[in-house]
Structure 1
Amino acid sequence: MKKIFFLLTTALSMSSIMINSSKTALADEVNNTGDIVQVARDFGYQVNEINRPKSSIVIDAENGQVLWQDNPDIPRNPASISKLMTIYLVFEALHNGQISMDTIVTATPTDQAIGKLHAISNNNIVAGVGYPVRELITMTLVPSSNIATVMLANLVSNNDAGGFVTKMNSKAQEIGMTNSYFNNASGAEAVAFSGMYLPQGYDQYAGNVTTSRDLSILAFNMLKNYPEILDFTKNPQVTAMKGTPYEEHFETYNYSTPGVKEDVQGSVYGYPGVDGLKTGSSPGGAFNYVATCLKNNMRVIEVIMGVGDWSDQDGEYYRHPFGNALLDKTYQDYSYQTILPAGEHDIDGKKVKIDSDLMGVVKKNSTPEFKYEDDELILSNTLPLVNDKMIPVETKYTEVKENKKVKEEKKTLKTTTSSSKSEDQSDDNSHEDFFKKLQSKLIEIPNQILYSLIGIVSGTILFLISRIFKNKKFISWFTALTGIAAIAVGIINLFYPLI
């Protein structure tokens, strides 16, 4: 019953990944950056349409901005690139103090037997020999040894193969690899281990599933958190167990690494600045690789998936012209530069100060635009980020407050400048105020005149009426005084506006 539950869970997870990937793939097919075959030819590489990669992406290793994409969300079998996730968890255990580079893993008879399986990539492991973790990491990353990978996974998980794969899937979700699902630690289906490696709860016949986007996210987090991985991948040739009877020499399968030997046709694919990370190939996944390159102070990560066909083993060479061409295009179009130098700046009407240079990857000859968000100044015309866990190009700022004295000086300067615009305008501000006041009063005068005339006329009428009642002294005097008062009020009201 438990096995059925695990199989159903696996099937549902895989179905969900396929559905999500299909939806995003349809969108990306409309918004691809360009034709990768044409890009390769434009930069002088001889490539055939039949070897066109099924998926690719390039991001910057500083902020995770997407610099190129071509169907980055199509689900693919990564094959041995899966080992990057295993190595990620090994480095996590190293940093947590769970193990050290000098921790010894003593090979078992089972390990030795797995090492002799030639249907999958391997190296010679001898039962009873102690292998330091650092040597097993080298064997995993360079010759892509499946047994070295399993030995590391068993070390970290206390020999719980299924538990380790569960940790791989948990870590993938944690860092935003939303379209990935692992069934094994090395990329080779568990069934290929002839019953000697069986992660409980996972389909032994199923391969791993991921996307170019997700692999770039994994590589991004690897370089951010554990950049020492490059010490294992930067050299074209390496020696494991040096100075022991078990010494072995290996050459990297990442032929874009400078110093790698030429292929059978005499071509050399070494690209200056490439120093990692991993290749992988399988019958279903064809030829893939993840590379990182540091050039002109700008580090980028690229993923190429689905090159060629498994029936043509030269596909391991064909993937590199496409990858090198994308590097050429990336370094032609983008640069890592000072976007905003440290100091004070006037941005969108606000004066702000940043304490250090704002650096980032931007398109060459582009004009930076900014927006404010909380206490961050963010590059608003940034490139799209590979996922929502990435941090955009931004820096903290402080608003510059001008003191009162400076404000008064600016106000005085503004007033002086304004008043001297015309020779006909007086420099005496009091005269200007007088004329403004006079203008205002004159506007009010018409109503005042009307009221004054009414008062004067009414008063005059009352005064004349008082003369009619002169025989009646009380009425006469009352109307006369009222009339005089009305006339007085009218006269006062008439001249008041000009007082």
Structure 2
Amino acid sequence: MRKRNGYRISAVVLSILLFFGLFSPGALKADAAFDVNAGAAILVDGETGQILFEKNSNQQLGVASMSKMMTEYLLLEAVKKGKVSLDDTYQVSEYVYQVSQDRSLSNVPLRADETYQIRELYEAMTIYSANAATIAIAEKIAGSEAEFVKLMNKKAKELGMEKAKFVNATGLNNKDLKGHHTTGGPTEENTMTARDVATLAYRLVNDYPEVLETAGIPKKKFREGTDDEIAMENWNWMLPSLVFEYEGMTGLKTGTTDFAGYCFTGTAERDGQKLIGIVMDATDDKGEGTYNARFTEMKKLMDYGFTQFERKEIAAAGSTVKGAETVPVQKGKEKEVKLETASDLSVLVPKASNTKYKTDITLNSSDLDKNNELVAPVKKGKVVGFVEVQDEKGEAVPFLKAGGQTKVQTAENVEKANWFVLSMRAVGGGIANGWHWLIDTITGWF
């Protein structure tokens, strides 16, 4: 992650009068009274990872089958790297067979020693939350579920999921794994914070957007036309044609266990605006957890995002932030390099309000020397930090750590000066201005 204790340029310029208001400290908030009935919740901009609402978002809770988003991520990553193909086949192990026969769990029954295509197991997992199919995928990728869990926890750290803990591939309670659990105690299950879940969902749909092509399927038949045909209805009842149909709903994953309660990660898009919402341990107005409650509360969350916010552009890609136009360069032909924004800078803001905003640039301390300078050679387009948007009080607009804050990059190349120029500069350091002029002139020759 970017470190902020390095070279920090406070660019309080670019104070643009924008017509929007302020969230609670550190966040943009359209309605201070807004709330959802859930143990924890979060709403983020699906494009940038900007946080629009959060409740108990750092509290570690059960996530149940929302865990399968990590299994999806690792599978799609393996496919991208060529390690696995969706056309590959898998032969059912005794463990997978036993779990698949338990219809009290979400499952498509699998035949012992039968061969299945990874694609159909992936669809069963993503549409129907099939648990045995998920374990099968874990075995295909890592050889065993225990080894796959190691990959899950390793990837969680890579993605910046600070408190995530995986003990199995499915999100089931370990006691439901027919005595095959190898990580954690028999009653343990996976836990995450709402921010962790949001981070996973954000990276999944941005790194592998094709997941929504499958997660957005309302109904499909497993092994259609065979004796093993079974109807799969997506557990995300907010998809088109299902009971809680919601305009623009595209995914993503539900989860339910006694430990976790009723959970849901929803993704939706309207008029080009993408939102990711998470509710964990959702309840109704009476405080009771139900299947319906998670969809009712998700509707509240999505409606809030779509109706209360609008996107405002602050700076276009390639813009120079006034007051932070350059950064010093050591050992270069030039003594500094110009900086520019790598992409458009925009945030979602509450409608019909009026607040002044400013920018702040934070450079990556890992790219700087002990004098807080870049060291030549420096290539054009090198990302050296990011732009942060702040309110009048200096509070930053919050983003997921995995989010897409606008990056700052170098606008030109700076070649390394040769030994003669560097030597002359060293000599010139203690001599009069006329000598400085001579050194700079000679530098230009080389």
TM-score scaled by length of structure 2: 0.69
- One-letter amino acid of the structure 2 residue matched with residue 361 of structure 1: V
Percent of matched pairs sharing the same residue: 24
Distance 1:35 1:360, change over 3 A: closer
Q: Distance in 1 between matches of 2:64 and 2:254?
A: 8
Q: Distance in 1 between matches of 2:52 and 2:316?
A: 24
Matched with 2:210 is 228
**Match of 2:254, SS?**
strand
Say which of 130, 141, 144 aligns to 2:129: 144
Matched with 2:398 is 384
**Match of 2:278, SS?**
strand
Q: CA deviation at 1:38?
A: 6.2
5+ residue gaps, structure 2: 1-23, 327-337, 364-383, 391-395, 413-446
Matched with 1:241 is 223
Say which of 345, 348, 362 aligns to 1:362: 348
Matched with 2:440 is none
Contact 1:67 1:383 (8 Å CA) reproduced: no
**Match of 2:210, SS?**
helix
Contact 2:362 2:388 (8 Å CA) reproduced: no
Say which of 159, 178, 185 aligns to 2:162: 178
Say which of 178, 181, 189 aligns to 2:173: 189
Q: CA deviation at 1:360?
A: 3.1
Contact 1:62 1:360 (8 Å CA) reproduced: no
Matches within 5 A, 1:418-433: none
Matches within 5 A, 1:58-69: 58-69=43-54
Q: CA deviation at 1:248?
A: 2.4
Total equivalences in the alignment: 349
Say which of 174, 181, 186 aligns to 1:198: 181
Q: Distance in 1 between matches of 2:251 and 2:27?
A: 25
Larger mean CA deviation between 284-293 and 201-210 belongs to 201-210
Distance 1:148 1:393, change over 3 A: same
- One-letter amino acid of the structure 1 residue matched with residue 153 of structure 2: N
Contact 1:106 1:129 (8 Å CA) reproduced: yes
Contact 1:376 1:397 (8 Å CA) reproduced: no
Q: Distance in 2 between matches of 1:345 and 1:316?
A: 50
Say which of 186, 210, 214 aligns to 2:196: 214
Higher helix proportion (structure 1 or 2) = 1
Contact 1:298 1:361 (8 Å CA) reproduced: no
**Match of 1:339, SS?**
strand
Q: Distance in 2 between matches of 1:179 and 1:245?
A: 44
Say which of 406, 422, 425 aligns to 1:393: 406
Q: Distance in 1 between matches of 2:85 and 2:295?
A: 34
**Match of 1:180, SS?**
coil
Q: CA deviation at 1:174?
A: 1.4
Listed one character per residue, the Cα deviations across residues 227-267 of structure 1 (whole Å, up to 9, x for unaligned) are 1110111122123323444332211111222221x3xxxxx
Q: Distance in 2 between matches of 1:96 and 1:377?
A: 29
- One-letter amino acid of the structure 2 residue matched with residue 189 of structure 1: N
Contact 2:263 2:281 (8 Å CA) reproduced: yes
Matches within 5 A, 1:74-473: 74-158=59-143, 160-195=144-179, 197-199=180-182, 201-260=183-242, 262=243, 269-308=244-283, 315-341=290-316, 347=322, 358-364=344-350, 368-372=357-361, 378-381=387-390, 383-387=397-401, 389-394=402-407, 396=409, 398=411
- One-letter amino acid of the structure 2 residue matched with residue 378 of structure 1: V
**Match of 1:182, SS?**
coil
Q: Distance in 1 between matches of 2:220 and 2:97?
A: 22
Q: CA deviation at 1:53?
A: 0.6
Matched with 1:54 is 39
Contact 2:388 2:397 (8 Å CA) reproduced: no
**Match of 1:114, SS?**
helix
Listed one character per residue, the Cα deviations across residues 383-407 of structure 1 (whole Å, up to 9, x for unaligned) are 21223x43413455759xxxxxxxx
Q: Distance in 2 between matches of 1:30 and 1:290?
A: 25
Matched with 2:13 is none
Q: Distance in 2 between matches of 1:344 and 1:181?
A: 41
Matched with 2:11 is none
Distance 1:345 1:111, change over 3 A: closer
Distance 1:85 1:103, change over 3 A: same
Q: Distance in 1 between matches of 2:254 and 2:81?
A: 27
Q: Distance in 2 between matches of 1:88 and 1:380?
A: 30
Larger mean CA deviation between 77-86 and 112-121 belongs to 112-121
**Match of 2:78, SS?**
helix
CA RMSD of aligned residues (A): 3.3
TM-score scaled by length of structure 1: 0.63
5+ residue gaps, structure 1: 1-28, 41-50, 263-268, 400-499
Distance 1:342 1:227, change over 3 A: closer
Matched with 1:497 is none
Question: For the pair shown, which has the larger CA radius of gyration, 1 or 2?
Answer: 1
**Match of 1:72, SS?**
coil
Listed one character per residue, the Cα deviations across residues 413-446 of structure 1 (whole Å, up to 9, x for unaligned) are xxxxxxxxxxxxxxxxxxxxxxxxxxxxxxxxxx
Q: Distance in 2 between matches of 1:294 and 1:88?
A: 21
Higher relative contact order (CA 8 A, sep 6+): 2
Q: CA deviation at 1:221?
A: 1.1
Distance 1:178 1:355, change over 3 A: closer
Q: CA deviation at 1:52?
A: 2.1
**Match of 2:61, SS?**
coil
Higher strand proportion (structure 1 or 2) = 2
Larger mean CA deviation between 389-398 and 52-61 belongs to 389-398
Distance 1:191 1:36, change over 3 A: farther
Contact 1:105 1:130 (8 Å CA) reproduced: yes
Matched with 2:57 is 72
Contact 1:240 1:249 (8 Å CA) reproduced: yes
**Match of 1:111, SS?**
helix
Q: CA deviation at 1:205?
A: 2.2
Q: CA deviation at 1:81?
A: 1.0
Contact 2:267 2:276 (8 Å CA) reproduced: yes
